Structure 1
Amino acid sequence: MPGRREGGSGPEAYDATPYLPQRGGLPAHRRAAADCQGCPLYREATGTVFGRGDSGARVMLIGEQPGDQEDREGVAFVGPAGRLLSKALREAGIDEEGLYVTNAVKHFKFTVDETRKRRIHKAPSLRETLACRPWLMAELRLVSPEFVIVLGATAGRALLGSSFRVGTDRGVPRPLPGVEDGTQVLATVHPSAVLRSKDRDAAYAGLVADLRTAAEAL
């Protein structure tokens, strides 16, 4: 298995570290991530959904996990939330072509609605999020963005700690903890939360406003 070190423990260890390659760039990490069994989520998901985009991007966006469509296609942010995010980025003046987009968790976690025969998103646990964090930190190291935008609570906790709260921590650029190269981070809501909102127009306007703050900071 690519990159797996001798003595690596099984999936019950909840740690992706043994599956990371010891060398190589994003392509090598993407190939290795396809075989990751660092937590039990790999068992039900179609496959690993790694990040995509410019390897030298100035801006990295981090979401929660793949959705149903992303899991089936193997590509991050191609479902309804991804389409809404693309629209919001355009309105905020951020060029999507130059971005790197990924998720804190690389496998789709879901329950099955037997009545409608649909897979329904289920939020990953903190344990599952932390298990997948080595992939996220590797992406940050390899892309080395100037600015990071975290979308929603799961991404925020993965990067900023378990005390992160979207409602109180959103919309304000700040130094990325643990990084000394001046990288800034800004948190906002996940576009899927906008789609679920009872007042979708207001929620969408808030997302665009936060993204405009990021654009101005750049």
Structure 2
Amino acid sequence: MARRSGAEGGEAYDASPFVPEGADLGALRRAAGGCRGCPLYRDATGTVFGEGEPSARLVLVGEQPGDQEDRQGRPFVGPAGGVLGRAVQEAGIDPAEAYVTNAVKHFKFQQAERGKRRIHKTPGLREIGACRPWLRAELRLIDPEVVVALGATAGKSLFGPSFRVTEQRGVVLPMPALDGEEGGEGAGVLVATIHPSAVLRADAEARAAAYAGLVADLRVAAGVLNA
């Protein structure tokens, strides 16, 4: 497993040795299947890489694969993906122009005490940092006009650990540099919003407002695309 010196008290995980230089998206996807940059690969079914056209104008970055995504090997095919798909279309975004991926490419979970249910666990900063080279490679190849960070994990992957969805959502932000490099990952901009799973977790009274907020933030991204 690739490791490097980290700032969290111990070694930090690092996927960069597994990321091939000069690869297209297809080659990146194949290489990601063999990633051993952090321990999450040990329990996950497999790597879940991004999907979409290399010419996509918009990149949607989520947190990590969920249970269904891990089993099917595709991003956003579970309940949260259904919410996102509806919200994207309602916001006026053509799904064909969107590339979907996650900040972390393996499913982090704990096994339920009874039964076979796998319970989602939020990736830590070391796991987010380990997977950042994959996200950076995707963004460099696609060079989208807009990146949408869906939730805290995606935001921290792109902005760093100080990111807060509640403070930075729904506004057009300059695309940040990844891994401290000068300049952003292309000339695009970034819009942050909640993860669609937050809509599903909301109680009945709050769910409609949470969904409306997600759509409103995506309309900000759509406004940039349609400008």
The question of 1:214 aligning with 2:213 is answered no
Match of 2:127 in 1: 128
Q: How many residues align?
A: 211
Is the contact made by 2:144 and 2:186 (CA closer than 8 Å) also made in structure 1?
Answer: no
Which residue matches 2:202? 197
DSSP 3-state at the match of 1:53: coil
> What corresponds to 1:157 in structure 2?
156
Question: What is the distance in 2 between the residues matched to 1:214 and 1:22?
Answer: 30
Does structure 1 conserve the Cα–Cα contact (< 8 Å) formed by 2:169 and 2:192? yes
Shift in alpha-carbon separation, 1:25–1:167, aligned structure 2, 3 A: same
* Runs of 5+ unmatched residues, structure 1: 1-7
Over the matched positions of the two proteins, sequence identity in percent amounts to: 63
- Report the 3-state secondary structure (helix = DSSP H, G, I; strand = E; otherwise coil) of the residue aligned with 2:77: coil
Q: Determine the C-alpha separation between the residues in 2 that align with 1:102 and 1:177.
A: 18
Runs of 4+ more than 4 Å apart: 10-13
Q: Is the 8 A contact 2:143 2:187 kept in 1?
A: no
Could you say which residue in structure 2 is the equivalent of 1:29?
28
Q: Note the alpha carbon deviations across 1:88-144, whole angstroms, 9 max, x for none.
A: 011101111121110000000001113242001100001100000000000000111
Match of 1:18 in 2: 17
TM-score for both structures, normalised by structure 1: 0.93
Paired with 1:108 and 1:97, the residues of 2 have a C-alpha distance of 26
Matches within 5 A, 1:34-113: 34-113=33-112
Q: 1:186 matched to which residue of 2?
A: 191
Task: Write the letter of the residue equivalent to 1:216.
Answer: G
Note the alpha carbon deviations across 1:18-43, whole angstroms, 9 max, x for none: 10112220111101000000000000
Unaligned ranges ≥5, structure 2: 5-10, 178-183
Cα root mean square deviation, aligned: 1.5
Question: In structure 2, do the counterparts of structure 1 residues 141 and 181 end up closer, same or farther at CA, with 3 Å as the change threshold?
Answer: closer
Match of 1:148 in 2: 147
Letter matched to residue 205 of structure 1: A
Question: 1:44–1:180: structure 2 CA closer, same or farther, 3 Å change rule?
Answer: closer
Report the AA paired with residue 54 of structure 2: S
Letter paired with 1:30: R
Separation in structure 2 between the aligned mates of residue 113 and residue 132 of structure 1, nearest angstrom: 26
- What is the one-letter code of the residue matched to 2:219? R
Moved more, 114-123 or 138-147: 114-123
Cα deviation digits, residues 170-189 of structure 1 (max 9, x gap): 00011112327531100000
* One-letter amino acid of the structure 1 residue matched with residue 173 of structure 2: R
